[in-house]
């Protein structure tokens, strides 16, 4: 079952044309990722400041299908998936609240790699992350 995150679009999220600035969609998706970790019992402070392991994004993409404006209520659904022993990806669907049955306003994807925070070499995904994925994966 995908994790669902609700968010209101703020004026600061928009560009001069009054629509959500493209990079801010990724920021909103990352908020959803953080919320899903917390909801699964992951200590966010320990997770993001771990001196031994990091999970940098190695790829990100967004497709837009309809504009989003300040005041719009969004529902962001995310589904993580393990790709290899040291990589995972998160698929996001962004809906205007109340229009979930319809077409999404945007779709995004982030790909992450697990690395040793000191040597910057790849390492196996942590058990915390594996448990989080098992709780959310379809």
Going by DSSP bridges, is the β-strand pair 53-54/115-116 parallel, antiparallel, or unpaired?
Answer: antiparallel
What CA–CA distance (Å, rounded) separates 10 from 111? Answer: 26
Catalytic residues: 15
SS3 36: helix
Residues in the chain: 138
- Other CB atoms within 10 Å distance of the CB of residue 74: 21
Closest of 117, 134, 114 to residue 125, by C-alpha: 114
């Amino acid at each position: 079952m995908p994790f669902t995150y609700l968010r209101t679009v703020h004026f600061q999220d928009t560009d001069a044309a009054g629509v959500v600035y493209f990079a801010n969609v990724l920021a909103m998706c990352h908020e959803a990722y953080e919320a899903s970790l917390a909801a699964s019992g992951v200590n966010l402070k320990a997770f993001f400041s771990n001196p031994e392991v990091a999970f940098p994004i190695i790829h990100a993409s967004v497709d837009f299908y309809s504009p989003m404006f300040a005041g719009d209520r969004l529902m962001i659904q995310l589904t993580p998936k393990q790709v290899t022993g040291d990589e995972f990806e998160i698929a996001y669907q962004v809906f205007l609240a109340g229009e979930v049955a319809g077409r999404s306003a945007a779709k995004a994807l982030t790909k992450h790699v697990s690395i040793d925070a000191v040597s910057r070499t790849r390492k196996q995904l942590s058990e915390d992350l594996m448990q989080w994925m098992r709780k959310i994966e379809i």
